[in-house]
Amino acid sequence: MKVKTVAICLYVMLIYWISLQFPTLDTLFYPTLGAFCFLFISRSFLFSELGKIIFGAFVSAVLGTVLFYIYPSAISLFINVLITIWLINKFKWNAPPIVAVSLIPFFSHSSHAWAIPLAVCGSLLGLLLILFMAQIVEKKLELLTTRQKAKALGRESVMDQ
């Protein structure tokens, strides 16, 4: 199993546990976080592209939160989805989970309006950090494995002589 896969699974578990332990951080865990995790490990992105996606998720969470707190209704949900999809197309964010993040205020009913966009941004930045660290660990493990194979081949060639 790959290091990145294990790392993001542990990260989602940690975020879920934190959201259960601290009631004010209940919006830190949201189901779309898992979709972002899979998206980030299933495609080869540059970290700058991931940053754009995180920014898009933050913007859409702010948009959804503002529209929900102005007028919580099906009409504001429609406007939210319409604008979010337009933003995704306009800025080529290429991440469908961004739409789902914009819907969080419509089902979470958090008592802290500011918490939703901050939670989305914080959890995705944390995910980016975890993926960066996992990538470093994978490279070090790959280097170690390569060295061990080279040593083993060196020993075999000496034994063959």
pLDDT tens digits, residue range 18-34?
Answer: 999 988 888 888 889 99
Three-class DSSP category at 23: helix
**pLDDT per position as a tens digit, 43-88:** 777 878 888 999 999 999 999 999 999 999 999 999 999 999 999 9
C-alpha span between 44 and 79 (Å, rounded): 32
**pLDDT of 156 above 90:** no
pTM of the full structure: 0.86
pLDDT value of residue 159: 55
Q: How much of the chain exceeds pLDDT 90, in percent?
A: 64
C-alpha span between 73 and 70 (Å, rounded): 9
Query: Where is 52: in which H helix or E strand?
Result: helix 47-70
pLDDT value of residue 99: 96
Amino acid at 117: P
In the structure, how many helices (H) and strands (E) does the chain have?
7, 0
